[in-house]
Structure 1
Amino acid sequence: MGIASPSRRSFLSAASAGALVAAAGPLLGACGNDGGSGAGGKVTLEFWNIATTEPQKTQYPKVVQAFQAANPNVTVRMTALENEAYKAKMTAQTASGKLPDIFVSWGGGVLKQQVEAGLVEDLTRRAADLSATLNPLSMDAYRLDGKLYGVPYDMGMVGFWYNKKLFAKAGVKQPPATWSAFLDAVRRLKAAGVTPIALAGKEKWPGHYYWSYLAMRIGGGAVFKQAETSRDFSAPVFVDAGRRLKELADLQPFQQGYQGAGYPTPGGQAALMGTGRAAMELMGQWAPSVQEDAGGDLGADLGFFPFPTVEGGKGTLTEVFGGGNGHALRKGAPKEAMDFLRFFLNAENERMFVSSGAFMPVVKGAESAITDPNRKQVAQAMTGATGFQLFLDQAFAPAVGQQVNDSVAELIADRATPEQVTRAITQAARTQ
């Protein structure tokens, strides 16, 4: 997602870019101020997030209002931006050295850059009480050199969301568990007159999921950590991932005009999937809610299956690729900012978020609030995961992540070879 996220993350309508939720404050406000304290002990917190679609769009103001009612000396000025607009704005704010008191973070390389610039608060001690109640896996993306710089509020994985009715129409009796079976399913769907896969080619980040998962399934979950350390993506596993992805692209599995399609926009990936005009999409845990927000809801016809294994590969189904969302605090943020993060994750709010389908749980035991069978499957997969890889456009430095997205998009469009993809990403990694 691109990441997001993505991301990867919550992916939001481009039509709402720059839109503010109710009670939103000005974009700059008190970013990088002296702690937000005003006359008479009053505190103002700037809270930037990406909650521009339902149910978060309604839920967030309720959480803010409840927090302010319990803390009358605190005012929370909330700014919500569409995902890509948010990333662009945060890039500019990072460059200026002024971040909001509370802001969404996907962790990884972007957070690392902000930490190295001295802009992010170390939460290791301040969040120690929260750490004991959270799923340890959900916190990995926010740890750097043994210190904690963010608190997660959503965590999940990417997998295939599929239309059971369209699978049955094509004679695909069960979700494919191997790459060869997946390619066969794509062929059957095309033969039945069904668009096999919806893809938001314009946004690029959804395409990088395929290459990333294939590399993990071929080489095992540690391949990206090894490449990041060596700054070398030229290993055979990455070239092979490109070749496997080209196998898929050569079948022309995506909808007509996919290269100009967005993710949550009208006629985009989520809408095609939710309205039954495509059989599959490779997407994160947020997919059903975005499908619904885009005007479609498959109900009982929607299913989920993990990314298939590759015959002869070292990777397993229990090694997952994904991410979530978290919050970080600017360096020097007032203590009330940490109070807000605790309030955000209290039992009542966590149950509201999880039961509504807004997030996957990060608080231990909160998975009991999940009723949807697909989301239960995602939660069980996360609980049983033996390896985890964060979205590459968040795990790596921004320039490297963007190169992954760009190069994989070129490969899918048959404008780059698998070898050219690995060379371009390696070059980007070595210039960091």
Structure 2
Amino acid sequence: MTAHLSRRSLLGLVGAGAGAYLLSGCSDDASDDPDAPQTINWWHIQNTEPMLPVWAAVAQEYQGAHSNVKIEIQPLENEAFKAKLTTATQAGSPPDLFQSWGGGVLKQQVDAGLVKDLTETVAPWKDSLLPLSLEPYTVDGKIYGVPFDIGMVGFWYNKDLFAQAQITAPPATWAELLDVVRKLKAAGITPVALAGKDKWPAHFYWAYLSMRIGGLGALQQAAKDKNFETPDFVAAGERLKELVDLQPFQKGFLGAEYGSPDGQAATMGNGRAALELMGQWAPSVQASSSTSKKGLGDKLGFFPFPAVDGGKGSATEVFGGGNGFAVGKDAPPATLDFLKTLLSVDVQRRSTKTGAVLPTVKEATDAVADPNNKVVAQTLAAATGFQLYLDQAYPPAVGQQVNDSVAALVAGSKSPAQILKDITQVAKTQ
């Protein structure tokens, strides 16, 4: 995602009333006096319903209670955000408060001295957060980001379309998933929605197959050894090719984006495909992308990525991540207090009630109402292992190559062995 969503609410046009949209990177009024006039430049990717108005309201409320603080919000689509942030960080001028998924990208920002160490700031309320949620934002034992959302990637499916194809239960193994695809095609139903143009959604398949076949440690060891040319990764590519060879995706998928009006989320939300592999934000983005703006409602179901027969990995190991915020090196003092507000129980509950967020604050978990989100939360709570999105966990160049290579495999232009050679070649340069 690439973040991938979240990669959460990754689409659409910026709504009115969300704040001023700056082109500069960071504010220049970082005074040590907390009562001095301060401007917080905030970039985030919750740029559509339902989270766009929530963040706008929280900022407005904070400004109302702090007359010396102005919060200028720049909501951005996921890919636009990453491109803009790269430009800002390369110039040494990050925003004051900005979206982060942690992992290798955050580590590079830490190494470059672009973000604040939040360890002492978070210490008084750290225990209010789910411990797992902080892991991607912890670098060398110090905290450099705070998560407001935590979740996992899994399969979202249209129950009505499954019933039309006489599929009575979600698949538990990869072989069963392939059978589901065949049954859907035989019933004249498009099996899978995929945003081929965005690339990051396709990498979910290869990452999960690598986990199921090689075990969670295989991905970690490959990064350490800078070598992906191993039998388990080849097997993961071959299993993915089995799916690709069934031609399961919607027409025009190679040019489809995740959040465009005819993209992956809209295809699912409008009932034009039976399955998508996506994170916990999927229902809300399906709804906001659908013609009705309601999505599938109770017709939508969820199941974890299936096991692979003979694989070393467990079906209880999950792949995903969350949304969080990092603080730019020159951010004014009020930024840290505003960040604490964003992680308050009240704001977390409000965010959770939208259905787009699974909270990281323990006391806010009672606000999870959607049945599918409850299943996601329960699956995550029972997980025996966790892997962050590869395009965030690995150094940026490696993560991008994973996305590019898997996209080439899905497009049929490269073989499983060829993509591993390409990924390894980039890994060795890092």
TM-score normalised to the size of structure 1? Answer: 0.96
Give the Cα separation in 1 of the matches to 2:111 and 2:330. 15
- Equivalent residue of 2:216, what SS? coil
User: Match of 1:189?
Assistant: 184
Q: Which residue of 2 aligns with 1:4?
A: 3
Alignment of 1:322-361 (within 5 A): 322-361=320-359
SS of 2:120 mapped into structure 1: coil
What's 2:364 paired with?
366
1:321 pairs, out of 313, 319, 322, with 319
Give 1:116's match in structure 2, choosing from 98, 111, 115. Answer: 111
Confirm or deny: 8 A CA contact 2:283 2:356 kept in the other structure. Answer: no
Per-residue CA shift, 1:70-97, capped at 9, x if unaligned? 2222111111111111100100011000
Q: Deviations over 1:14-73 (max 9, x none)?
A: xx38x88532242216x1635167997212111111121001111111100111122222
Distance 1:39 1:279, change over 3 A: closer
1:311 and 2:309 matched: yes
Q: 2: CA distance between counterparts of 1:285 and 1:389?
A: 15
Out of 417, 424, 427, the residue aligned to residue 426 of structure 1 is 424
In structure 1, the residue corresponding to 2:268 is in which secondary structure?
A: helix
Partner of 2:389: 391
2:88 is matched with: 93
8 Å Cα contact 1:11/1:82 also seen in 2: yes
Residue 258 of structure 1: aligned partner: 253
1:55 matched to 2:55? no
**Aligned equivalent of 2:155:** 160
Say if 1:32 and 1:97, in contact at 8 Å, map to a contact too. no
Q: Provide the C-alpha distance between the structure 2 equivalents of 1:32 and 1:143, rounded to a whole number of angstroms.
A: 25
1:122–1:354 CA distance, 2 compared to 1 (3 A):
same
Q: What SS does structure 2 have at the residue aligned with 1:227?
A: helix
Q: Please list the CA deviations of residues 172-210 of structure 1 after superposition, one character each: whole Å capped at 9, or x if unmatched.
A: 110000011111111111111111101111111110000
Return the offset for 1:11.
1.7
Amino acid at match of 2:124: D
Deviation at 1:318, TM superposition (A): 1.4
Q: Distance in 1 between matches of 2:123 and 2:391?
A: 28
In structure 2, C-alpha distance between the alignment counterparts of 1:190 and 1:217, rounded to whole Å? 25
Report the equivalent of 2:402.
404
Name the SS of the counterpart of 2:283 in structure 1: helix
Distance in 1, matches of 2:341 and 2:20, equals 19
**C-alpha displacement at 1:130, in angstroms?**
2.6
Q: Distance in 2 between matches of 1:21 and 1:329?
A: 24
Identity %: 56
**Match status 1:224 vs 2:219:** yes
- Output the CA distance in 2 between the equivalents of 1:25 and 1:261: 27
The answer to whether the 8 Å contact 1:163/1:280 transfers is yes
Partner residue, 1:84: 79
TM-score, normalised relative to structure 2: 0.96
Q: Distance in 1 between matches of 2:193 and 2:19?
A: 36
119, 137, 141: which one pairs with 2:136? 141
Matched residue, 1:26: 22
Deviation readout 1:269-298 (Å, 9 max, x if unpaired): 111111111000000011011111111511
Residue pair 1:183, 1:248 contacting (<8 A) in 2 also: yes
1:37–1:44 contact (8 Å) kept in structure 2? no
Q: Name structure 2 gaps, 5 residues minimum.
A: none
How far did residue 159 of structure 1 move? 0.4
- Determine helix, strand or coil for the equivalent of 1:365: helix
Shifted more, 202-211 versus 327-336: the winner is 327-336
The answer to whether 1:377 aligns with 2:375 is: yes
| Maintained 8 Å contact 1:36/1:44 | no
How many positions carry a matched residue from both structures? 427
Confirm or deny: 8 A CA contact 2:210 2:232 kept in the other structure.
yes
Q: Could you tell me which amino acid in structure 1 is paired with residue 4 of structure 2?
A: S
Contact 1:21 / 1:52 at 8 angstroms: preserved in 2? no
* Kept after mapping to 1: 8 A contact 2:27/2:41: no
User: Counterpart of 2:326 in 1: which secondary structure?
Assistant: strand
Following TM superposition, by how much is the alpha carbon of 1:9 offset from its aligned partner in structure 2, in angstroms?
A: 3.9
CA distance in structure 2 between the partners assigned to 1:21 and 1:232 by the alignment: 48
Kept after mapping to 2: 8 A contact 1:6/1:323:
no
Instruction: Tell me the CA shift for residue 10 of structure 1.
Output: 3.7
Superposed CA offset, 1:392-427 (max 9, x none): 111111111111111111111111111001110001
SS in 2 for 1:246: helix
The yes-or-no answer on 1:275 pairing with 2:270 is yes
Q: Deviations over 1:250-279 (max 9, x none)?
A: 111111111011111111111111111100
Cα distance in structure 2, aligned partners of 1:84 and 1:276: 25
